[in-house]
Amino acid sequence: GQQLNQSPQSMFIQEGEDVSMNCTSSSIFNTWLWYKQDPGEGPVLLIALYKAGELTSNGRLTAQFGITRKDSFLNISASIPSDVGIYFCAGHRSRGGANNLFFGTGTRLTVIP
Amino acid sequence: NAGVTQTPKFQVLKTGQSMTLQCAQDMNHEYMSWYRQDPGMGLRLIHYSVGAGITDQGEVPNGYNVSRSTTEDFPLRLLSAAPSQTSVYFCASSTTGRKEFFGPGTRLTVL
């Protein structure tokens, strides 16, 4: 199946620091999405990106759709304790109406107060 | 709106048993999907549906059946549970198949 490589796998940062994570693929995607998952919960959509080069913000979160359409980046500024969780990237590719949404393996973020 | 709801939240099965995981959404979404989440592997698509009466296989469909008789409901059936099906199962829905809204998950253990 389609493999999305997400890095880093885990991060330990001090409260107030900025965070960067990325996702790369060998295939082109039409849409990139970033999700956050809290323990025992389902993933929650943070940001959706629809075209190459697009830069979109959601509060302290900023994500970019890579120019090659094979990668995406997520930045979190001034981290706070509630940012703790697992962040997943997902790429979507339309094919005759089929639902082709592929997920990365996740970045586990720990924020130290 | 309740969003996407799943039942049960936890389930333990013995090898060979069958069961159905329930999923419902009240957002009138056409697309519904089932994913499984295993440690270190992210989420993988099992089956999906683009509307009532239409279903298709995802990346890991073996051992699972689905049906979509209504827009709201999308049950996932395990025909003969195996230990390899121990996982956390998430149901999701969306309008276009892209921006998925996830349910809270069902944690399944097969002994």
Report yes or no: A21 at the B interface, CB cutoff 8 Å: no
Q: List C-alpha distances in Å: A64 to A17, A56, A90, A107, B64.
A: 19, 6, 13, 17, 36
Q: What is the mean pLDDT of residues B60-64?
A: 95
C-alpha to C-alpha distance for A110 and B15, rounded to whole angstroms: 37
The more confident residue out of A27 and A63 is: A63
Q: Is the pLDDT confidence value at B98 over 90?
A: no
Q: Is the pLDDT confidence value at A97 over 60?
A: no
pLDDT at A12: 96
Rg (CA), chain B: 13
Q: Which of A48, A94, A104 sits opposite B99 (nearest CB)?
A: A48
Q: What is the mean pLDDT of residues B20-35?
A: 96
Q: Is the pLDDT confidence value at A1 over 60?
A: no
Q: Is the pLDDT confidence value at B28 over 90?
A: yes
Residue from B98, B101, B106, B107 whose CB has the most chain A CBs within 10 Å, to mutate: B98
Q: Predicted confidence band at A112 (pLDDT cuts at 50, 70, 90)?
A: very high
Does A43 contact B44 at a Cβ distance shorter than 8 Å? Answer: no
Q: Is the pLDDT confidence value at B97 over 90?
A: no
Q: What is the mean pLDDT of residues B62-79?
A: 96
B interface with A, Cβ–Cβ < 8 A, is: 4, 31, 33, 35, 40-45, 48, 50, 56, 58-60, 90, 92, 97-105
**Tokens standing for residue B50:** 């683009």
Spell out where chain B has E strands: 4-7, 10-13, 19-25, 31-37, 43-51, 54-57, 64-66, 76-78, 87-94, 101-102, 106-110
Residues on chain A touching B102 (C-beta within 8 angstroms): 35, 42-44
Q: Is the pLDDT confidence value at A104 over 70?
A: yes
State pLDDT tens for residues A30-88. Answer: 999 999 999 889 999 999 999 999 999 999 999 999 999 999 999 999 999 999 999 99
Residues on chain B touching A65 (C-beta within 8 angstroms): none
Place of tokens 């809204």: B101
C-alpha to C-alpha distance for B50 and B97, rounded to whole angstroms: 8
Q: What are phi and psi of A17, to 5 degrees?
A: -80, 160
Q: What is the mean pLDDT of residues B55-76?
A: 95
Residues on chain B touching A40 (C-beta within 8 angstroms): 104-105
Q: Predicted confidence band at B59 (pLDDT cuts at 50, 70, 90)?
A: confident
pLDDT at A95: 63
Q: Predicted confidence band at B110 (pLDDT cuts at 50, 70, 90)?
A: very high
Q: Predicted confidence band at A96 (pLDDT cuts at 50, 70, 90)?
A: low
Look up residue B60 and give its DSSP letter: S
**Tokens standing for residue A99:** 């639902």
- Residues A30, A102 contacting (CB under 8 angstroms): no
Report yes or no: A105 at the B interface, CB cutoff 8 Å: yes
